[in-house]
Structure 1
Amino acid sequence: SENNFGEIPDVCEWPENLKYLNLSSTQIPKLTTCIPSTLEVLDVSANNLQDFGLQLPFLKELYLTKNHLKTLPEAADIPNLVAMSISRNKLNSFSKEEFESFKQMELLDASTNNFICSCEFLSFIHHEAGIAQVLVGWPESYICDSPLTVRGAQVGSVRLSLMECHQSLLVSLICTLVFLFILILVVVGYKYHAVWYMRMTWAWLQAKRKPKRAPTKDICYDAFVSYSENDSNWVENIMVQQLEQACPPFRLCLHKRDFVPGKWIVDNIIDSIEKSHKTLFVLSEHFVQSEWCKYELDFSHFRLFDENNDVVILILLEPIQSHAIPKRFCKLRKIMNTKTYLEWPPDEEQQQMFWENLKAALKS
């Protein structure tokens, strides 16, 4: 011991029955097959060893103090080991499997190492029966180096919480819950048309910034006509002719004809309603199935009904069953229950009276 060997050769000559060898403090970086397999005690403390890979079947005591080992030696190479000192190395932890692989181990000195007090390591230390009798210097010389929250604490006294021990599981659980929450929001939003309501609310808030009502000089139309595309034949070929060719003629605002090209359709709807003296709804089964008709109805409600002005005219083009009106049309239900509406008569004799009543409503 205490020589400056630096390195040892691969082949050496030793007495045949050599049992004890002390190579401590000899600055050797690696052990070679020069070490005889007959040894029962080997001391290689205070060297520059980074691993121990010798097969010594008869070895009973091994001293590896003050080296650079990061793990315990392989038990299969030293099956009869009874005592081992691996203190003051770079050992971070050792597992239950590694510990129990030394079948004959009675004393293990792993003190003064920088232990990483992971959940697995702590669980093994706390639950391994008899480990306190095997570990030399337990518990005062076994100190946690990390995590930071327990640095400097004795390994035996540290208890990590369930959250600290199962961070990956916790993250997975949180991600799963967030995904399920978003999925539920999407499903519920789709079922109850939340996206439509958000779009509606945003457009309404934008409209709220504008004046409550366009000045009289800005009124360009007698009526804005809201109708379903499926009813366009009646609107464009019958109603428009009756009203725009009347004497005096009425000027109607139709989305097909009068909306500004390239302008957002919602802005077109808002501007057209604001620039019209009346808003005329042509109600039918098709109307209550149209998304844009819903927009137009709600815009009229927000911008015009709130002013308590009689600016809405309802034309019932065909009978509508109450159960056929979607829940989103609660305003339509309310309007139909509180306002008089014009019904389009199938009898030609009654149609003339219908047009007279409609013209009178538009002039009011």
Structure 2
Amino acid sequence: RMEIPPSRSCRWSTVYVNCSESDLSSIPTEQFPVGIQVYDLSYNNIESLPSHAFFRYSSLKELHLHHNLIFEINSQAFVGLSNLELLDLSANRLKKTKIFQPLSKLESLDLSSNTIRVLWRSVFDGLNQLKTLRISHNPISLFCADVSNMNKLQYFMAADTSLTYLPEVVRNAISRRLEMGFPFQVSLSESPIFCDCENLPFIRWMVFSKAFKFKNRRYRCSYPDSSYRDITDGYEETLKILSRQCSSNEVLFLSVGGTTLAFLSFIVISLVYRYRWKLRYMYYAAYIYLKPGNTAASDNMYEYDVFVCYAEEDRHFVMTCLYPALEARGLSVFIHHRHFTAGELIGSNIVRAVHSCRRTVVVLTRTFAESSWCNFEIQMANMESAHRGMPVLIFLLLDEMTGREMGAELLFNVQNNTYI
């Protein structure tokens, strides 16, 4: 038996309340029976749902709120509705939708005909019992909702939206359901599906997925120039055309990409080669500077007057002739076999020596010219010259050598520095 409370034009019984078309602007405050299972508030002028709006009705199974003016729903509005199975919010003005967490037993959710533009990843968290999801007739352009835990979902209705595709994670979740033998139906009719190479994986999935029923449904292709074309063959011809076009585009892309990568690699290698000595100097200088206990000399103070560079084969000449002669003139001399730090990187030892001495004297012999580390010492001295803004190299030509024997780089260094 239906009764009418005196303050509202709502009819109710112990299990059903019908307030449809009652010109309501808010949720009724009447104390309806707590055991009601169906609450119909459709076709009213309700604009918002406050916190705990239906808290008293924990037995409620169906809540009809369609065809209202609802644009705001408090995040706690549905608290207490743990037994709700059907929620119809279609034909409202909803924009935000992260409000469904308390509805753990919800099986059918209708959000059609609202103003929703984006559905973010966590919007449907907790709706593990959902079987039907309707979001048709919304300006939705991005669907990121996580449906992987909706193990009972069977119907996904998204007709007449702005969706151009479904993300791969959503497609994979649907495919898993189908592979397990569960029924699943998807509708994207009248949505502007992008028909281009970028969207080819989605179109291929649509064609071969059992989730789509194209017969008697209006599907469309949208193109970069904003044009549209109706699809009557389930995208089969579109898939063939795009497969041909995109394969040739892929070859072109790989060719251009490979050429570009090779060119950029050549530029990088050329720059590294050109500035290789400067880079090595900077590396070892930074290593010395950052090393704990650094005692490197500052730019305006030197520990030694002369750093002598020589090949090991010329060590006898250096120790018996050159070294005594330099010390006799009151010069402090840095000799690598005496002053290099044991256990230190050779490169950092050389940079420290060049940096802590006023001048670098190179004992130039044929043996020295063939040594890679001796060449490294010259290059580090060149970098130190550039750093100080003054020459530091002095060459002592111990052997008579032709330009060919020296090589272009060494000859250039000799000609552009002091030599004896």
Bucket of the pairwise TM-score, normalised by the shorter protein: 0.3 to 0.5
Structure number with bigger Rg: 1
Higher percent of residues as strand: 2
Higher percent of residues as helix: 1
TM-score normalized by the length of structure 2? 0.36
TM-score normalized by the length of structure 1? 0.40
